[in-house]
């Protein structure tokens, strides 16, 4: 399969790119609004994987081209760009493309981070609303710490939660997620259940803030 990481040059996109490239045989497409930036990220990721003796298959494109070539498109962009990014690639998506959204709306104050969803209920549901009707949307990878993911020295044993209305798309993403070493994907039902999944993201950041020695906090459901 071909996995496009739109906004794959930083944050959660970097970690997903490195882990998919290292742990799976799938082709990883780094998307960016700036194709030069995408290609620079590819070089950096290849060097990192090469230094660890890992085979990898990564290419860089402008977001639209990455989406056009992919079977699975991950919107690894900040929440305030999610809507625009969906619009930008909408005519490259179809019923055979799975759109994956890990973004979460948050607002910070002196106490910590707070869940701040859009009016439709969650960023995941916003993506489903903005995407063409026939494109299956899966919420996944919401609660993973970007730094923990991007540091390949970091071996973890973590869960990620999936929400989707399309069972086949959910199953495909579940299998993909489970291919990442140390990651287990759990099902949380339909998109309507996404707000509670997203609100774990500010919570893990607050836990890191208030507990000495805890950084890049992840979660395991037992």
Q: How far is the CB of 151 from a second copy (least distance, A)?
A: 15
The H or E element containing residue 162 is strand 158-164
Closer residue to a second copy, CB minimum distance, 83 or 190? 190
Radius of gyration of the chain (CA): 16
- Site membership for a second copy, residue 178 (CB under 8 A): no
- Site membership for a second copy, residue 155 (CB under 8 A): no
SS (H, E, C) 86-104: HHHHHHHCCCCCEEEECCC
Strands 137-139 and 98-101: parallel
Q: How far is the CB of 108 from a second copy (least distance, A)?
A: 11
Query: Could you say which of 46, 120, 156, 171 contacts a second copy (CB under 8 A)?
Result: 156
For 103, phi then psi, to 5°, come to: -75, 150
Closer residue to a second copy, CB minimum distance, 133 or 212? 212
Closer residue to a second copy, CB minimum distance, 92 or 174? 174
- Site membership for a second copy, residue 188 (CB under 8 A): yes
- Site membership for a second copy, residue 129 (CB under 8 A): no
Query: Could you say which of 94, 133, 213, 221 contacts a second copy (CB under 8 A)?
Result: 221
Please, which residues have CB within 8 angstroms of residue 221's CB and are 6 or more apart in sequence? 159, 161, 186
- Site membership for a second copy, residue 202 (CB under 8 A): yes
Is 111:105 a contact under the CB 8 Å cutoff?
no
Quote the distance between the C-alpha of residue 146 and its chain's center.
10
Q: How far is the CB of 10 from a second copy (least distance, A)?
A: 24
Stretch of 37-45, 82-90, 95-103, 194-202 contacting a second copy, by CB under 8 A: 194-202
Q: How far is the CB of 114 from a second copy (least distance, A)?
A: 7
- Helix, strand, or coil (residue 32): strand
Strands 72-75 and 58-62: unpaired
- Site membership for a second copy, residue 146 (CB under 8 A): no
Of 99-128, binders to a second copy (CB under 8 A) are 109, 111-112, 114-115
Is 185:140 a contact under the CB 8 Å cutoff?
yes
Strands 106-109 and 112-115: antiparallel
CA gap 190, 152 in Å, rounded: 32
Of 32-71, binders to a second copy (CB under 8 A) are none
- Residues in contact with a second copy by CB under 8 A are 109, 111-112, 114-115, 156-158, 161, 186-190, 192-193, 195-197, 199-200, 202-204, 206-207, 209-211, 214, 217-222
């Amino acid at each position: 399969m071909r996995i496009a990481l739109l906004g794959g040059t930083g944050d959660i996109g970097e970690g997903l790119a490195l882990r998919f490239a290292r742990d799976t045989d799938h082709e990883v497409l780094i998307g960016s609004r700036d194709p030069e930036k995408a290609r620079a990220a590819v070089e950096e990721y290849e060097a990192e994987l090469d230094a660890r003796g890992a085979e990898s298959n990564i290419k860089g494109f402008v977001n639209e081209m990455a989406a056009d070539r992919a079977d699975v498109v991950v919107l690894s962009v900040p929440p305030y760009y999610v809507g625009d990014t969906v619009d930008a690639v909408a005519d490259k998506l179809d019923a055979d493309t799975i759109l994956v959204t890990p973004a979460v709306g948050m607002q910070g104050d002196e106490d910590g981070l707070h869940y701040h969803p859009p009016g439709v209920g969650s960023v995941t549901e916003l993506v489903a609303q903005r995407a063409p009707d026939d494109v299956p949307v899966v919420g996944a990878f919401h609660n993973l710490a970007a730094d923990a993911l991007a540091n390949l020295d970091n071996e973890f044993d973590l869960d990620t939660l999936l929400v989707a209305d399309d069972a086949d798309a959910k199953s495909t993403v579940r299998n993909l997620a489970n291919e990442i070493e140390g990651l287990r994907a759990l099902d949380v039902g339909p998109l309507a259940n996404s707000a509670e999944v997203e609100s774990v993201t500010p919570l893990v950041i607050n836990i890191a803030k208030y507990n000495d020695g805890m950084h890049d906090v992840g979660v395991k459901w037992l």
